[in-house]
């Protein structure tokens, strides 16, 4: 089997003690990602790529999964109005913009809940608190120090921000800071579900121990292709103090035959 007409991609992320290497081959003409992230401790903006999402089919970029043209509010929007917008549209975050739609902050349902009196507050205190809330604006509650992404940011960039800042949504802006979209943790889940083939019809996830044999990834690919078994994802997982593992997603109607095939070549299957 020749790899001359194949395209390869490798991606790494995690901490120095836990890295994931994803290597896969896709026939020429089918999009694949060619970005390599090596220093995972750098801030996300330090290694953003300017490659257009269209160049690689968009699968590794937030542009394909973000919510475009999101609902926004101005800083002088009253809190009851902002709360009504969140409830009516079943959303949790509102980017706050100026008249040119440039980002000035973000307000969440949690911010608004914190503005209202609690259930243990006395009736008199509640009345006074409600009066204050009715007059308060989004500018009084919004977060102004927002991390942002551009439309050409990768899923890796977003994942690092989510992990480092423990936030639920990231505004997506233009070079002029105009709000173009928002990217949430739910969008991230959707993206990785597609990338890793979760719930794809006929697909199974198979894990094996990495026994340090030479060219083990190539051997797996050749073994499966030789039997006409479609391999769609291949991931190598390194964790400090633990044996290296290899996971793959395979389209196959007879998983037992796949297990037998790997065992016949001396591979040790991972068990729950």
- 83 and 174 belong to one structural domain: yes
| Alpha-carbon gap, residue 133 to 131, rounded angstroms | 6
- 175 and 72 belong to one structural domain: yes
SS3 263: helix
- 96 and 187 belong to one structural domain: yes
DSSP type of residue 189:
H
The model's pLDDT over 66-110, given as tens digits with 9 standing for 90+, comes to 999 999 999 999 999 999 999 999 999 999 999 999 999 999 999
pLDDT > 50? residue 169? yes
User: At how many degrees (to 10) do helices 216-226 and 255-264 cross?
Assistant: 130
Q: How does residue 271 score in pLDDT terms, banded at 50, 70 and 90?
A: confident
The CA angle 116-121-126, to the nearest 5 degrees, is 55
The residue among 145, 164, 193 that closes a domain is 193
Domain count, the chain: 2
For the question of whether the overall pTM of this predicted structure is more than 0.85, the answer is no
Query: Which pLDDT does position 41 carry in this prediction?
Result: 36
The candidate with the shortest Cα–Cα distance to 105, out of 137, 80, 131, is: 137
* Contact by Cβ (8 Å): 36, 10: yes
- 157 and 201 belong to one structural domain: no
The model's pLDDT over 192-204, given as tens digits with 9 standing for 90+, comes to 888 888 878 888 9
Q: Print the domain residue range for 23.
A: 6-41+196-264
DSSP type of residue 118:
P
Query: Which pLDDT does position 124 carry in this prediction?
Result: 52
The residue among 193, 214, 246 that closes a domain is 193
Sign of the CA dihedral with 84 first, then 88, 91, and 95 last: negative
- 160 and 202 belong to one structural domain: no
pLDDT > 70? residue 14? no
Strand partners, 13: 20
- 164 and 236 belong to one structural domain: no
Would you say residue 1 lies in a domain? no
CATH of the domain at 96: 3.10.580.10
- 94 and 143 belong to one structural domain: yes
Q: How does residue 22 score in pLDDT terms, banded at 50, 70 and 90?
A: very low
- 115 and 188 belong to one structural domain: yes
Q: Please state, rounded to an integer, the average pLDDT across all residues of the chain.
A: 78
- 146 and 78 belong to one structural domain: yes
Would you say residue 58 lies in a domain? no
pLDDT > 70? residue 191? yes
């Amino acid at each position: 089997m020749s790899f001359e007409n194949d395209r390869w991609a490798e991606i790494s992320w995690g901490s120095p003690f836990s890295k994931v290497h994803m290597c896969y081959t896709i026939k020429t003409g089918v999009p694949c990602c060619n970005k390599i992230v090596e220093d995972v401790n750098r801030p996300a903006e330090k290694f953003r790529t300017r490659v257009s999402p269209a160049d690689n089919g968009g699968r590794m970029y937030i542009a394909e999964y973000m919510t475009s043209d999101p609902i926004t509010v101005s800083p002088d929007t009253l809190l009851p109005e902002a709360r009504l917008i969140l409830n009516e549209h079943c959303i949790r975050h509102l980017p706050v913009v100026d008249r040119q739609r440039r980002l000035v902050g973000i307000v969440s349902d949690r911010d608004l809940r914190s503005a209202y009196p609690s259930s243990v507050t006395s009736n008199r205190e509640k009345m006074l608190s409600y009066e204050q809330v009715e007059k308060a604006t989004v500018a009084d509650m919004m977060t102004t120090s927002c991390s942002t992404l551009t439309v050409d940011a990768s899923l890796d960039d977003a994942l690092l921000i989510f992990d480092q800042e423990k936030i639920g949504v990231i505004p997506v802006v233009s070079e002029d800071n105009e709000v173009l979209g928002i990217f949430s943790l739910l969008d991230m889940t959707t993206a990785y579900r597609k990338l890793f083939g979760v719930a794809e019809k006929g697909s199974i996830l198979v894990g094996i121990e990495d026994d340090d044999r030479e060219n083990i990834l190539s051997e797996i690919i050749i073994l499966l292709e030789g039997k006409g078994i479609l391999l769609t994802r291949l991931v190598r997982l390194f964790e400090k103090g633990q044996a290296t593992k290899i996971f793959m997603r395979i389209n196959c109607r007879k998983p037992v035959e796949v297990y037998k095939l790997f065992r016949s070549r001396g591979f040790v299957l991972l068990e729950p």
